[in-house]
Structures are given as C-alpha cells and as structure tokens.
Amino acid sequence: MTTNPTALTGAPPGTDHATLPEPGRPRSANGSPRRASSPKRPLRALRLLRRWVSPVAIIVIWEILSRTGVLSERTMAAPSTIFAGAVELARDGVLGSATLASVQRVAVGFAIGACIGLVLAVIAGLNRVGEDAIDPPMQMLRTLPHFGLIPLFIIWMGIGEAPKLALIAMGVCFPLYLNTLAGIRGVDRKAIEAARSMNLTWSQRLRHVVIPGALPQTLVGLRQSLGIAWLSLIVAETVSASNGLGYMINRAREFGQTDVIVVGLAVYSLLGLATDGIVRYLEGRALAWRV
C-alpha cells in the first residue's frame, strides 16, 4: 500500500514540498517564513551596562568614604574634588600644555625605537648572517631592566631631553623587534619559494609575501611597545623634567595635591587606551582578510 504525500500535506499535486510551511513557524504576509528577531543587541547592551556597574559603584563608595571622613583628603582626594581639579587645570592651560609635552616625547621616542627595532628585525629575519650578527646582542640587551640604565643615560647624555627619549626608545625597540622577527620567521617558506619561482625581485617578495605574513605579529609587538612607551614616559618625566605630566605629578607630590596626581595618572591611562585603540582599529583594517 502506497501513501499519497498529497493526502498527508493537504497540498495540491505538483507542489514543491520543500517550500511548504513548517508546522508552528510564523509566516509573513507574502507567505515567506519570518526570521526570528536576533537577541544579540539587547544582550550586548545589557552586558555593557553590567560592565559599568562595578566602576560606578567604586566611585560612589569612594566619594562616600571621602565625605564621611573615613578617607582623609590628604591620603586620597574625593572623586568630585579630582574632577573639579581637572576642570581647573584644563581651564588654566596647565593640563593641556603638560599633555602636549608628554605626547611629543612619546611620539619622538616611539619613532626612534620603532625604526631601530623594525630595521634590525628585517635584517635578522631575512638574512642568516644578519641574524647571527644582530640577534645575540639584542637577546642579551633585552634582559637588562632599561629603567636601571637611567644613571648611565644621564652620565652619557646629561639631564635634557636625550635620556628621556633614549629610555622610551629602548623600551619600544625590543618588543617590536622580537615580535617582528618571530613574524618573519613564521612566514610560510613555500610562499617565498613560489615568489622566487615567479621571478619576483627581493623588494617585491618583501612587499607581497614577507610583510603580509609578518604583519599580525608585528601589530602585536606594536601594541606592546606602545604600552611600554607610556610606562617609560612616566619614569622618564620624573628625571629632571621641566614640563609634561610627570613634572606636574612631581610638583603636586611636593605640595600634597593628591587630586592633581590622580588627574595626571588618569590622563596617562586615557592616552594609553587611546593609542591602543588606534592600533586595534588599524589592525582590524589591515587584517580584514583574515575575517
């Protein structure tokens, strides 16, 4: 005995059963199945709200402790006092000039360190002789705590801008060198051999094979280097600086102005987050092919 599919579905003969509505599935006005609304946006907004709960709670508790006298003003200023101090510093132009001086130091020091690290990594990564000449001293130098070299930098370069820039550049150089070298070594050798078989020149192989292959690891090193650059700046600006955020913090320490100290540290943090966000944006654009 054969079963008639028309009798089971109630559809007229010749109807494509693949297009029949599923039982219990909602249909739109034209008969096509409706798509279930995605719950991702409400969940994402709820998660973002949850992430703000603990920071806001900490600030509220901090303010309450300060106003009730549990936390003295000399130990730590209240958040409202810190905000008022930041507004006053910005209005007087002190915060803007100090931030500009610090950003300029990081930009110059980072450019010097990044150029040195990238050039040395390319030479060591693409040439065995270059690797034997460059990698051993770089591996030895990177184990030195570069903050401990401040006395030597001052003896060699004085107390001007040079030792501050050297400290930042040294902090930037090694993470970028190590990550770029690892990225170059991780490039698929078959791709390089294929480029050679296509008679590509050295510069063409570098542009079309080596750089795209090493770029993800290089961007990781770039993010690490930027973080170390800001840490190095904080230490560098405590060494006989006459301007910058570190100088502002040191002067506030002498007068016991904890609100100014916290403002300076907050600006350091915001600048670090901003530069990291820029690199992450560039990483997303440059590595869009991996998605």
Domains of the chain by range and CATH?
A: 79-290 (1.10.3720.10)
Distance in angstroms (rounded) separating the CA atoms of residues 241 and 221: 28
Q: Which residue has the tokens 């079309």?
A: 208
Instruction: Give the closest residue to 167 by CA, choosing from 103, 241, 105.
Output: 105
Query: Cβ-count burial of 257 within 10 angstroms (0-12 exposed, 13-18 middle, 19+ buried)?
Result: middle
Confidence of residue 27 (pLDDT cuts 50, 70, 90): low
Q: What is the mean pLDDT of the chain?
A: 82
Cα separation, 88 vs 210, whole angstroms: 51
Place of tokens 């987050």: 273
Residue 231, token pair as written in the block: 């840490």
pLDDT of residue 120: 94
Tokens representing residue 111 in the block? 């450019």
Residue 256 backbone zone (phi > 0: left; psi -120 to 50: alpha; other: beta):
left
Quote the CA–CA distance of 181 and 125 in Å, as a whole number. 5
End-to-end CA separation in angstroms for the chain: 54
pLDDT average, residue stretch 54-58: 87
What length does the chain have? Answer: 291
> Is there a contact between 80 and 67 (Cβ–Cβ < 8 Å)?
no
pTM flag (> 0.85) = no
How far is 121 from 130, CA to CA, in rounded Å? Answer: 9
Q: For 179-194, what is the mean pLDDT?
A: 85
- The residues, ordered by sequence, that sit 6+ positions from 210 with a Cβ below 8 Å of its Cβ are 125, 126, 184, 187, 192
pLDDT tens track for 148-178? 888 888 899 888 889 999 999 999 999 999 9
